[in-house]
Structure 1
C-alpha cells in the first residue's frame, strides 16, 4: 500500500480522532485539523502526536476552522508547502442539532450549514485545484444515516446531511475525468459527543408554544446512551476502519459505505441499493452515462 498525504477535518474527537490515528498506523502521512489548537484543543493536539509517536508514526496537527475561508486556505497552503500535494481529504467536521425544527431560526440554521455543508464546500474548493493538477485524489464525505432518512427533532441536522450527500455524489460525477473520486461514509448510531454538544434552538417563544413536545429533544439527549448494550457497546473504530479501507483501495470505490454497529440494520443499504439504479437511469437518459 502506498503512503498518502491525508487531511482530516474535525479531528479533535469522535470519528475524526480515531480516523487520524488509524490512518497514521497504516503508514499514511496524516494532517489532523481542528479549531483552537493552541488553546482549548492544545491537550488533544499533544495527545494525538504522542499516541502516534508511541506507535512509531508521524502525525501533524494544524489549526483549521472549516467555517472560515482564510483558516481553510491557510491550512491547505501549509500542507501543500510542506508535502507538495494532498492525496485525500476526509470531511468529518460537523455538528448535530437536536430540537424542535421550527424553533431553529434562520441564523441558527446558517451556523449549522456553515460547518456541515459550507465547511465541506470550503475544504473541497481549497484542495481540488491541487488534486486536478496532480490528476488524482480522493474526497471522503462523512455524512450520516440521516443523510438518507429523517426522524422528528433531527430535521435541521438531516437537512445538512442530505445536502452534503447531494454535493458528494455530484462531485463524483464531475471529477471522475480528472482522476478524482468522491465517496460517502454513512455512520449509524455510535457513541459520540455530538449529542451532548447539540446546538440549542434560539426561538424560546416557539418552544413554549410546543408545550410538552418541546421537552422531547432533551429527553432524547438525556437518555441517548441507554440505547447501547453496556456489555457490547458499539465500536466507533468501525467508522475509522471503513475510511481507512477506502483510502487504501486502488480499485473502483463504492459511492456510499454504510457503517452500522454490530447487529443493527436500519435499512439504509436497501435505500442506497434501490435509489442507485434510478439515479443511473436518469443520467443515461440525459446522455451522461460516461459519468456514472
Structure 2
C-alpha cells in the first residue's frame, strides 16, 4: 500500500486515478481547488465513495498555483510515497493573441505548479531515500502545432524539468517518470482557455481552421470504440509505474493516440543516453535496482 498524492482530481485522469488507486488499496490524497465551490460535486463523489466502500481516500483543498495553498494542504498530508503531478490546463489560440499575463498563467499552472509540489514532497523522500514522482506531460511536449504554441511551451518545459529531475533525484533513490497522454475523452478540449485578444485571433483564420479540424478529428476518434481514448488507459499506466520495481521504470511512456510521438522517443533516446554517457552521469538515469 502506497500513500499517493494526486493533483488535479476534480476531473479527468486525476479523478479517475483517485478512485481506482484507492479501490486498489492505496491511501490516496485527492487534491483539487475550489472543492467547496466549483468542484464540490466531484469532491462530494470522492468523499461518498470513500465512505461507502471504506477506502483510504481523502479529498484535500489545493491550488497548485499558490504557494500558500500548497503549504496549507501539505499540513494535512503527512507522508507521500508517490506524487502524481497531474493538474494542468491547455491554452489555445495564436501566440500573438495571448497577453503576457495569460502566458505566465499557463506556465505557472503547468510548470511552476509541478515545482511547488515537488519541493513539498522531496525533503521527506530524500530522507527516506525512496519515492516516485510521475509527471503528466503530453504528446504536445514532443511536437508543436499551430494554435497550441503556449500550451506546447508549457509541456516542453515539463519534459525538460522532469528529465533533469530524474538525473538529480536518482542518487537519492527517487524515481521520476513522464507520462505523455494523447487526446482522451476527458474535458480537456472543452476546457481549453482561449487567447484573450479575439481581434488578433481573428487575423489568423488558418489557425482557427486548423483548430476546428483538429477538434473534429479528435471527436471522431472518441466515437471510435476501438481507439485508445478511454482515460483509464492513462490510469493503468500510473498503476504499472507505481507497481514497477525501482530501477525498471522508463523515463517516458506514451499513452493513447500518439501521432508518432513514440517514434520520436525511440529516435531521441539513444542520443539522450549518449549525451549523459559523455557527461558521465549514465548511472543517474533512474534509480538503480
Cα offsets for 1:110-163 (capped at 9, x unmatched): 011111011001111111111111211111000111111122211111111110
Pick from 280, 284, 289 the counterpart of residue 287 of structure 1. Answer: 280
Identify the residue that residue 239 of structure 1 maps to in structure 2: 234
- Partner of 2:77, secondary structure, is helix
Secondary structure of the 1:60 match is: strand
2:150 corresponds to which residue?
Answer: 156
- Output the CA distance in 2 between the equivalents of 1:291 and 1:174: 7
Asked whether the equivalents of residues 91 and 141 of structure 1 are also in contact (C-alpha less than 8 Å), the reply is yes
Q: Displacement of 1:39 after TM fit? A: 1.6
Task: State how far apart, in whole Å, the 2-side matches of 1:50 and 1:217 are.
Answer: 38
Give per-residue Cα distances to partners, 1:181-201, cap 9 Å, x unaligned.
Answer: 111011111112121111111
Aligned to 2:75: 77
TM-score w.r.t. length of structure 1? 0.91
Aligned equivalent of 1:202 = 196
Q: Which residue of 2 aligns with 1:88?
A: 82
Residue 197 of structure 1 aligns to a residue whose secondary structure is coil
2:34 corresponding residue in structure 1: 36
Paired residue for 1:128?
122
Instruction: For residue 210 of structure 1, report the CA deviation from its aligned partner.
Output: 2.5
TM-score by length of 2: 0.92
- Single out whichever of 28-37 and 44-53 deviates more from structure 2: 44-53
Which residue matches 1:9?
7
Matches within 5 A, 1:169-188: 169-188=163-182
Structure 1 runs (4+) deviating above 3 angstroms are 52-56, 211-224, 230-233
What do the CA deviations read for 1:61-81 (whole angstroms, capped 9, x no partner)?
Answer: 00000000010111122201x
Unmatched tracts of structure 2, length 5 or more:
none
What is the Cα deviation at residue 204 of structure 1?
3.2
Rate the CA distance shift 1:31–1:102 in 2: closer, same or farther, 3 A. same
Pair 231,211 (structure 1): closer, same or farther in 2 beyond 3 Å: closer
Provide the rounded CA distance (Å) in 2 between the counterparts of 1:60 and 1:105.
Answer: 37
Q: Paired residue for 1:254?
A: 250
Distance 1:212 1:184, change over 3 A: closer
The alpha carbon displacement at 1:218 in A equals 5.2
Distance 1:13 1:100 in 2: 26
